[in-house]
Amino acid sequence: MPELPEVETLRRALLPLVKNNVCSEIKFFRKDLRFPIPQALLNEGLLNKKVSDITRKGKYLLLHTPKGAMLLHLGMSGRVVLQATIEPQEKHTHVIFKFAQKSYLHFIDPRRFGSISWVPESGKHPLIDNLGCDPFSPDMTAKAMKILARKSRAPMKSFIMNAQKITGVGNIYACESLYHARIRPQKQAGKITLVQWEKWIECLRDVLNNSIA
């Protein structure tokens, strides 16, 4: 499953190709992935619109236009592949986006656990509305985490992997960051000190940054 570093790597790779470019064509090859693909909303909000930015929230990518944002999740096996032409198409290619001459983004997902959704201008969408703080957000401070966990009896590992608390921390990064911060995974999150939270946030960001290509 693609984790936060892989999604951030994809975001950075797409930025120079997509940002400030117009999506001039969308080809749909199926109606649904994990959820129905909102073809009408994508045609209205993305087609012939300039992408102003690409951001990430946890493991979700958002391609922003004046009408809202396309919300992309890779699921278990999703990939975005840049090709110079619409052909050839790999097996399990479900959607193709054209952004410039010789610039086609192929969304490929064999297991179809990924999703392509549309976020309106309000920025509200049920897939991301309840997500917690992103590990690279300036809002993720030791003080904020200590307040968030103050009444929690959950083991620290379970707490930091809860996407409603902190978004995008998978098992391997939870284990590595706790190991480097010298915090037992079983220790109650509510008993973590401010100093320990500071150390863990530092270690988590180091581990994630080291995994971003």
pLDDT above 70 as % of the chain: 100
| pLDDT tens figures, 156-196 | 999 999 999 999 999 999 999 999 999 999 999 999 999 99
| pLDDT tens figures, 102-136 | 899 999 999 999 999 999 999 999 999 999 999 99
Active-site choice (3, 176, 198, 202): 3
Global confidence as pTM: 0.92
Residue 82, pLDDT above cutoff 80: yes
What is the rounded CA–CA span in Å between residue 20 and residue 63? 11
Active site residue 176: no
Q: Are 112 and 181 in contact (CB under 8 A)?
A: no
Residue 29 lies in a domain: yes
What is the rounded CA–CA span in Å between residue 161 and residue 163? 6
Cβ within 8 Å of residue 136, ≥6 positions away: 205, 208
Q: What is the pLDDT of residue 74?
A: 97
Claim to verify: residue 9 and residue 73 sit in the same structural domain:
yes
Claim to verify: residue 82 and residue 182 sit in the same structural domain:
no
Residue 126 lies in a domain: no
Task: Assign residue 43 the CATH number of its domain.
Answer: 3.20.190.10
Residue 106 lies in a domain: yes
Active site residue 2: yes
Query: CB atoms < 10 A from the CB of 28, how many?
Result: 13
Task: Assign residue 157 the CATH number of its domain.
Answer: 1.10.8.50
